[in-house]
Amino acid sequence: MTIEIKPLETGTPIFVPSPDPQHPRVLLATRLFNDGHIDIEEASHISGETPDTLEKFFEQSGVLPRKRVLVCGGAGFIGSNFIHHILEKYPYYSVINYDKLTYAGNLENLRNVEKSPRYKFIKGDIADTETIEKLVQNEKINYIINFAAETHVTRSLLLRADEFLRTNVLGVHSLLEVVKRNPQVEIFVHVSTDEVYGSLDLDSQDSFTEDTAFQPNVPYAAAKAGGDMLCRSYHNSYKIPVIVTHCSNNYGPFQHPEKLIPNALFRALRNQPITLHGNGQHVRDWIFVRDHCEALDLILHKGKPGHVYNVGADVEKNTHEIARTVLKYLGKPEHLITLVDDRPGNDLRYSISPQKIKKELGWDTTVSFEEGIALTVQWYENNISWVDAIRERDKEFSKYI
């Protein structure tokens, strides 16, 4: 039996045993805490032990994991939402945010956690293998999740695709090499996109599964597919503990205003035309970013290395429907919708099947599309200055915002 010193109120120390792990109250507190139903203070009340004593007991018994998570690309839209999620849900986790701060990276997304002792920001490029390796070793990283990517399709078409290849292929290769040489990294989750699968016909009933062959149609998607295939090869060749995820279109707080939903919102607020490519019939599956973060959380902790997980909400809507929905919430007329020439390689329809993650990990969405849109519109209306700052910083594309 282990012994610890516990002071009396008078200051006279006595020897008391650590909690009996088989005591019914300790067992109950341990189970509830481990399942995330109570915090350490509530567990202390149930077990009759002091919070400090119980915390040490939980840590020694493995109930209280202290993990260090490296989030690559954590200043972007989904990455910053994921950091908020992890810091809120796991009070004993620490997060290191590693981001190059390109056009989509914005530290304002994380202003309310920047002073947390469990959060650290380091500016850097995932293609810089030497720096990444030093960081992983010095920070004693347990988990890596990679959001870092050049993601905007139009930019990959209008500008050179060099940076897309550097980040989405060479950057992923860099991370894989670091994980290969540092076995203390327990899991590496690489976040990809459903666009690697190509396009489906509008009248098709098919959906992308984890076994669907890659058929990317634009440079961005091709670069992402290259990174995904590297992950597969490194797991098969070196048994790297890597998992790849493919998700549908995300929306929610902190999304760059060049994307469809926030773009439509802010143009409508200024009574400017909402421009849609082609005839507005391009269909996407829409998922609220909070639900995506919950899925990634499950994959990080319970996913199987070497596997691929598709994440979708089964909410298929075309761009015309999305624009009309935004206008309805704002009370704006539909004549603001303006159709323009389609862009090259614009896939007609994405539909992704989430059956595997639902069956194997028990995940499902919790936010309906109607609720998610309402939350999103409300957030942007309350954060106009956040968008204005992006418009000022990114003047090259601000005319589209």
Report the Cα 118 to chain-centroid distance in Å.
18
Measure the CA–CA gap between 401 and 386, rounded to whole angstroms.
Answer: 13
Are 161 and 221 in contact by the 8 Å Cβ rule? The answer is no
**Is there a catalytic annotation at residue 98?**
no
**Is there a catalytic annotation at residue 258?**
no
Which one from 49, 194, 294, 347 is the annotated catalytic residue?
194
Q: Within 166-218, where are the H helices?
A: 171-181
**Is there a catalytic annotation at residue 285?**
no
Which one from 99, 125, 150, 195 is the annotated catalytic residue?
195
Sign of torsion, CA 334 268 365 103?
positive
Which one from 90, 143, 197, 220 is the annotated catalytic residue?
220
Q: At CB < 8 A and 24+ separation, what contacts does 57-64 make?
A: 57/18, 57/19, 57/21, 58/30, 58/33, 61/21, 61/30, 63/30, 63/33, 63/34, 64/92
**Which amino acid, residue 179?**
V
Are 349 and 201 in contact by the 8 Å Cβ rule? The answer is yes
State the residue for tokens 């005591």. 23
For residue 277, give the 3-state DSSP assignment: strand
Are 253 and 246 in contact by the 8 Å Cβ rule? The answer is no
- For helices 384-393 and 369-381, angle between their N-to-C axes, nearest 10 degrees: 70
Measure the CA–CA gap between 375 and 382, rounded to whole angstroms.
Answer: 11
- Residues taking part in catalysis: 194-195, 220
